[in-house]
Every structure is written in structure tokens, then in C-alpha cells.
Amino acid sequence: MDIFVNIINIGLVILLGYDLYWQSRIQIRANYSYWQVVWGLIIVVWIASTGISSWSYAVFLALFTLLNVAGGVSGIGDKRIAATGVYNRFRPYAKFIGVTLTPVSAPNGAEFVVAIFAMAPRRYVRMIFKQPLTTMIGVLQQVLPETVPVTIQKIN
């Protein structure tokens, strides 16, 4: 059983390295997704409740937890966006069919931008940024292909 868990651990280390590489290329970070950590911890506690029988198993739980913590980081990178999650979260800009930016002013005076990256068919990646709209537009103009339209939506 330890050999199987060690093979999974090697895969998780490779996945963690891949995640860290693309996260290091993020230019504008979105708000952190705490739900990613909550669900990861629920799964880890559930798995750990069966009993930790070896060091390989303990390393697996630690790597799984670390991947869930890293999975909450999202943002706009130089070649891809980093969505939240553990699996298939780094998407190249060529896959998008449109981007919608919605500036929002909260009642407490905080301002943020909701960005929705649309992929075909009916798939979306939503992120919330604490950056000004002008900064968001400037970065997106640098990284998005000319064929991907950017729409600015106003809330009345």
C-alpha cells in the first residue's frame, strides 16, 4: 500500500510544482477563495479519521492540504488565468470567447471589479479583484488576444 501512496505523493508534488510555477506568473491577484480550503480540510479530516498508518499516508494528507491551500489563489497571469480549484485551473487566454468586467461600489465604500471570463459552451470563470477598473483593462489589453472582446458592464 505504501508504494501506491508514494506514487500518488510524487504526482501531487509534480502538480504542486506546476501550480506554483503558474501562480508565480500572476500579475494581478484576485480575492482568495476560502471555500477551497474549507472543503479540502473537510476531506482531510474525513480521510484522517480512518487512522494514519504510515509516513507516506501522513505526507499524502499534508500534500493534499497544501494543494487545497494553493488552489484558493487565482488571478490574471501573463499567459493564462489562474482559476480556483485543484484540477484544470490554469486556462490559456486563447480559450476565452469574451471577458465581462463589472465595477462595483459596496455600501461601505470599498470598490472592486467582478471579472467573468467566458468559454464556449456556457463555461465561466468568475473572479473578484480589488484593483481599479483602469488597471484591469490595461493588463487585459496586454494579455488577451485581439479576438477576445472585453465588455464593461455597469450596475445601476
Per residue in 65-96, pLDDT tens?
Answer: 899 899 899 999 999 999 988 777 899 999 99
- Cβ atoms of residues 82 and 89 within 8 Å: yes
Dihedral sign of CA atoms 72, 29, 89, 23 in order = negative
Count the Cβ atoms, other than its own, within 10 Å of residue 154.
Answer: 7
Which residue in 76, 82, 79 sits closest to 93, CA to CA?
79
Whole-number pLDDT of residue 155 = 79
Whole-number pLDDT of residue 37 = 86
Whole-number pLDDT of residue 29 = 94
β-pairing, 90-92 vs 123-129, is unpaired
In the chain, which stretches have pLDDT less than 70? Answer: 156
Three-class SS state of 5: helix
Residue carrying C-alpha cell 510555477: 21
Whole-number pLDDT of residue 46 = 86
Cα separations in angstroms, 73 against 10, 27, 53, 70, 108: 22, 12, 31, 6, 25
Whole-number pLDDT of residue 156 = 59
Whole-number pLDDT of residue 61 = 87
Whole-number pLDDT of residue 80 = 93
